[in-house]
Amino acid sequence: MGGGSIAANNKNFKINYARSLFVFLILIYFSFALPAQDSPLIQKNESFALAQVYMNLSLTEKYFDSLSTSRISKIIPYEENVLESFENKKFIRQNANLYNFSYSLLNFNKAKLLFRDRREVNRDKLVEWKNELGLANRYYKRALEKPMFTRLDTSFYDLINFNQDSEKSLYWGIENFRAKFTPYFNNDIYPEYQKLFFSAKRANNFNFLALWSSAAIYDLSLEFSILNAMGEKITNYLKPSGDIIYTLDRKLDLISRYIQLKYIASDQFNKTLTEFQIRELYDSYDSFNKDLKGEKDRFIIQELNTAVSKTLYNELQKKYPHEKVQIAYSINNPSPSGVEAMEYIKIDQYFFPDPAPLASANITVENYQPSSTVLGDVDTHISGILRTAGYRNQLHYYYDLDGFALATSLEKFNTNGSTIAEDERWITHLGSEGKFSYYEIFKSLFFEIESEFRMFVFIVASKNVTFSTEPPSPGDVEFLIQHSYETLPKDLKEKSLPNKNLTVIVYYFHQNDIGQVPELELSGTLSALDHLNLAEINNLIRND
C-alpha cells in the first residue's frame, strides 16, 4: 500500500461510476460476514440492484407531489434501464414478485407524470395515459401470481419496506388514477357519440362498429347488452378488453342504448322475438328511460328529451306490441409457494470485505503507534480521537485481515469545512421498532439534493490492504440483516500485533439533482488528508 511513512493512493482520473449507496452501505455495515474470510461467495448483484430500483420507484411514487418534474423525469428512465438490464431468466422467475411489482411502480410513475402535465391534452396523449396505467396494472397482477409475503422469513422484504401496505397502496393508487383518467377518456369521444346519435335519430344509420371503436380507444366498458339479449350475433365480438376497463359515462351509455333500441324498432332489425325477449326489451327501455330522467348533461337534456323518448317507445310498440304486466317475484339466496431467491444464513462473525471496495481516497501510515502493541490500546487511541470529534455512537467494528476495521456512520459534510447541524449530520438508519431498515437510509438520501456524504474506514493490520477495481460487489442478500459490532470484539482487544499499519479509507459520495442515489466520487479532488482535515481528525494519523 505504499512505501514511505505516509503513502497516498488517490485516483487522479475523472470517472463517474454510478455507485449505489444502498449497495455500499450493505457492504460496509453488514459486510461479507462468513466464518472465514476466504470462503467462496456467490455474487448476486441483481438482488441488490432490484431492491434499489424498488425503493427508488416506491419513494418516487410515495412523494411524487413533492418532487419536481425534472427530477422525476430523470429517475424514471434511469430505473427503467436498470430493470431492462436483468437478463437472468432464473433470477427474474425466482424474484417475480419484486421484479413485476417494480415494473408496476415504474409504469405507474410514468402515468402520474403524464397526468401532471395535462394543460393541453389530445388523443395521442390520452392513449399514452391509458397505456402506461394499463402496464402498471398488468405488472401489478403479475406480481400477485405468486403469493407475496407468505414466506417464513420476510427479513429482506422488511429491510426494503416491501410489504402488504406497499401492495395495497399501489392497488389503490392505480384505482385512483383510473377514476381520474375516466372523465378525460369519456369527454374525448363524446363528440363522436353525439354525431352517431344524430345519424341514428335522423337517418336510421346505425354504426355499432363506430360506437365500439371509439370506446375501444380507451377500453371503456361499452357493452351492447340490449342487442345481445335480442340474439343479435354481430355484436358478440364487440366487448371491452384491456388491462384496465374504464367506466363508460352514463351520458355516452344512454346514447348507446338509444341507438340499440332505435335499431330494434327500425325495419333493419327483422328478428322475431319471443315473449320473454319482448319483456326484456321493454325492461331495457324502462331502465333507459329512468336513467335518462336523472341525467343532467346539457346535450342529453336537449336532444334526448321526453318527446324523443316517447317517440322511441311508440316505434317499439308498433313493431313489438306489449302490455306491461306487474309481476311480483322474489329471489332466494341460498401460498405459500416459496420465493426461492433469497434464503438466510446465520453467521458468527462480521468481516470487512477483502479486497476493500473501490475507494474515493486512501492513505497508509506504516508502523502505526509502535508503542501500542495490543489492538485494544490502538482502538482506544483511534476511537478516543473520533469520539472527541463528534463520532460518539457512530462507530462500527469488523474483523479484517489479521487486525480490525473501524468504520464511521455515513455523515453529511460540507467541502468548505463549515459545520453541519448534529440533527442533520447523520443519516437516519433505524426503521420502526428499532429494526435496521435500508429503506429508511434510502429514503433519507433520496431527498438530499446537492449534498456530500462521507464514510471513513480505519484498518489496523500488519498485512497490506488491497482494493477492488470493480464497483462494490455485495454477496447474497442473506447478509443484509447482519449487524456490525458496536465495540471491538474481546479477542481482538487482547490480540498483540507489534508491527502494524493504519490505512485510512474514504468513501465520498456526491448527491446532485439526478434523481438517483449518490455517486461514488472518484475524481481525486479531495485527498484522504483533505477529508481528515475537514473532519478535524488529522491528528489520528500522527505517530506518537
Note the pLDDT tens digit of each residue in 349-362. Answer: 778 888 888 888 99
Percent of the chain surpassing pLDDT 70: 76
Beta pairing class for 395-400 and 403-408: antiparallel
Q: Is the pLDDT of residue 149 over 90?
A: no
- Bridge partners (DSSP) of residue 288 are none
| Rounded average pLDDT over 181-204 | 96
pLDDT band at 483; cut points 50, 70, 90: low
- Bridge partners (DSSP) of residue 397 are 406, 485
pLDDT at 437: 52
Angle formed by the axes of helices 275-294 and 250-265, nearest 10°: 140
- Alpha-carbon distance of 164 to 149, in angstroms, equals 7
pLDDT at 39: 35
Give the pLDDT confidence of 62-101 residue by residue, as tens digits: 999 989 999 899 999 999 999 999 988 988 998 899 999 9
pLDDT at 443: 63
| Rounded average pLDDT over 307-325 | 88
User: Cα 389–391–397 angle (5° rounding)?
Assistant: 130
Q: Is the pLDDT of residue 289 over 80?
A: yes
pLDDT band at 198; cut points 50, 70, 90: very high
**C-beta of residue 224 within 8 angstroms of C-beta of residue 232:** yes
Q: Is the pLDDT of residue 493 over 60?
A: yes
| Rounded average pLDDT over 237-253 | 82
pLDDT at 240: 61
Out of 177-191, 254-268, 420-434, 483-497, pick the least confident.
420-434
- Alpha-carbon distance of 297 to 249, in angstroms, equals 11
Region for 108 from its dihedrals, namely left if φ exceeds 0, alpha if ψ lies in -120 to 50, beta otherwise: alpha
pLDDT band at 308; cut points 50, 70, 90: very high
User: If you ran DSSP here, which 8-state letter would residue 43 be given?
Assistant: -
Q: What share of the chain is helix, strand, coil (3-state, %, to 5)?
A: 50, 10, 40
| Rounded average pLDDT over 387-399 | 89
Q: Is the pLDDT of residue 187 over 90?
A: yes
- C-alpha cell, 217: 380507444
Where b means 16+ CB within 10 Å and e means fewer, 348-372 reads ebbbbbbebbbbbbbbbbbebbeeb
Element (H, E) at 534: helix 528-534
pLDDT at 43: 37
User: If you ran DSSP here, which 8-state letter would residue 144 be given?
Assistant: T
Q: How many angstroms from the chain centroid is the CA of residue 15?
A: 28
- Alpha-carbon distance of 197 to 225, in angstroms, equals 18
Q: What is the sign, positive or negative, of the torsion defined by CA atoms of 79, 513, 521, 480?
A: negative
- Bridge partners (DSSP) of residue 374 are 496
| Rounded average pLDDT over 454-468 | 90
- C-alpha cell, 66: 413533492
- C-alpha cell, 453: 456524504
The residue with greater pLDDT, 404 or 446, is 404
Q: How many angstroms from the chain centroid is the CA of residue 432?
A: 20
pLDDT band at 406; cut points 50, 70, 90: very high
- Alpha-carbon distance of 125 to 175, in angstroms, equals 20
Beta pairing class for 403-408 and 411-413: unpaired
The residue with greater pLDDT, 254 or 415, is 254
- Alpha-carbon distance of 49 to 83, in angstroms, equals 9
Residue reference for cell 489479521: 402
Element (H, E) at 200: helix 164-203
The residue with greater pLDDT, 348 or 462, is 462
pLDDT at 282: 94
- Alpha-carbon distance of 34 to 347, in angstroms, equals 6
Q: Is the pLDDT of residue 41 over 60?
A: no
Q: Is the pLDDT of residue 225 over 80?
A: yes
Q: Provide the strand spans (E) within 307-448.
A: 361-365, 395-400, 403-408, 411-413
Q: How many angstroms from the chain centroid is the CA of residue 415?
A: 32
Q: Helix, strand, or coil here: 175?
A: helix
Q: Helix, strand, or coil here: 544?
A: coil
Q: Is the pLDDT of residue 205 over 70?
A: yes
Out of 128-137, 206-215, 299-308, 411-420, pick the least confident.
411-420
121, 168, 122: which is closest to 149 by C-alpha? 168
Highest mean pLDDT among 10-24, 223-237, 377-391: 377-391
Cis ω on the peptide bond leading into residue 353 (within 30° of 0)? no
pLDDT at 155: 67
Mean predicted lDDT score pLDDT of the chain = 80
The residue with greater pLDDT, 242 or 111, is 111
Percent of the chain surpassing pLDDT 90: 46
The phi and psi torsions of 467 (rounded to 5 degrees) equal -125, 145
- Alpha-carbon distance of 509 to 507, in angstroms, equals 7
| Rounded average pLDDT over 297-307 | 92
pLDDT at 130: 95
- Alpha-carbon distance of 424 to 413, in angstroms, equals 10
pLDDT band at 112; cut points 50, 70, 90: very high
Out of 9-23, 167-181, 268-282, 370-384, pick the least confident.
9-23
78, 56, 31: which is closest to 445 by C-alpha? 56
